């Protein structure tokens, strides 16, 4: 099976507050209906939305903001592995070395699903499943 994903360039402001190794740094909603999900969370929490062009195949990426601060992202499903999992939130965990972290995850029984891939101005990201199948994204912030 071939996995493909389009990595979207997002504003630098999104990674301004990157944290140290092993801390949660970003949350991202994967949904086939960004408009409906965006309306729900905007009305529930008072979040503003900023749309970023993600190209002709993927439409747009949405950045949720609160008081002008980027707080989460939202996008369409982009890789075959996750398209049939339904809408869900992903957590991103900061790592100092994404290649070493992905290798260590595999040693511990995890599975690398996609990546590592570069996001210009943001860093390197990958999607992995832990030894029980739980999906999580790792991010090595850009220097």
Q: 52: which residues sit within 8 A by CB, 6+ positions away?
A: 8, 9, 10, 11, 60, 61, 62, 63
What architecture is the 26-92 domain classified under in CATH?
Roll (3.10)
**pTM score of the predicted model:** 0.77
Question: So where are the chain's domains?
Answer: 26-92, 95-143
| Whether residue 116 has a cis bond before it, omega within 30° of 0 | yes
Q: What is the pLDDT of residue 71?
A: 94
pLDDT digits 0-9 by tens, 52-107? 987 776 678 999 999 999 999 999 887 766 777 888 999 999 999 999 999 999 99
Whether 4 shows a pLDDT value over 80: the answer reads no
Q: Write the class of the CATH domain 95-143.
A: alpha beta
Q: What is the pLDDT of residue 55?
A: 77
Q: What is the pLDDT of residue 1?
A: 32
| Nearest in space to 81 (alpha carbons), one of 34, 137, 36, 8 | 137
The highest-confidence range among 19-33, 80-94, 101-115, 117-131, by mean pLDDT, is 101-115
Contact status, residue 133 vs residue 124, Cβ threshold 8 Å? no
Q: Which two tokens stand for residue 142?
A: 């850009």
Q: What is the pLDDT of residue 97?
A: 96
Q: 30: which residues sit within 8 A by CB, 6+ positions away?
A: 74, 75, 76, 77, 82, 87, 88, 89, 90
Whether 16 shows a pLDDT value over 70: the answer reads no
Kindly report the CA angle at 79 between 139 and 116, in degrees rounded to 5?
30
Contact status, residue 75 vs residue 62, Cβ threshold 8 Å? yes
Q: Do domains 26-92 and 95-143 have the same CATH topology?
A: yes
Q: What is the pLDDT of residue 9?
A: 43
């Amino acid at each position: 099976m071939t996995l493909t994903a389009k990595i979207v360039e997002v504003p630098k402001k999104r990674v301004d507050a990157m944290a140290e190794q092993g801390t949660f740094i970003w949350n991202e909603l994967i949904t086939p209906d960004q408009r409906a999900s965006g309306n729900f969370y905007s009305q529930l929490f008072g979040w503003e939305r900023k749309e970023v062009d993600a190209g002709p195949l993927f439409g747009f990426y949405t950045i949720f903001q609160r008081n002008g601060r980027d707080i989460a992202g939202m996008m369409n499903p982009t890789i075959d592995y996750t398209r049939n999992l339904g809408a869900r939130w992903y957590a991103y965990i900061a790592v100092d070395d994404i290649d070493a972290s992905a290798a260590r995850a595999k040693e511990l029984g995890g599975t690398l699903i996609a990546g590592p891939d570069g996001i210009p101005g943001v860093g390197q990201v990958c999607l992995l499943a832990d030894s029980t199948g739980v999906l999580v994204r790792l991010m090595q912030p850009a220097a």
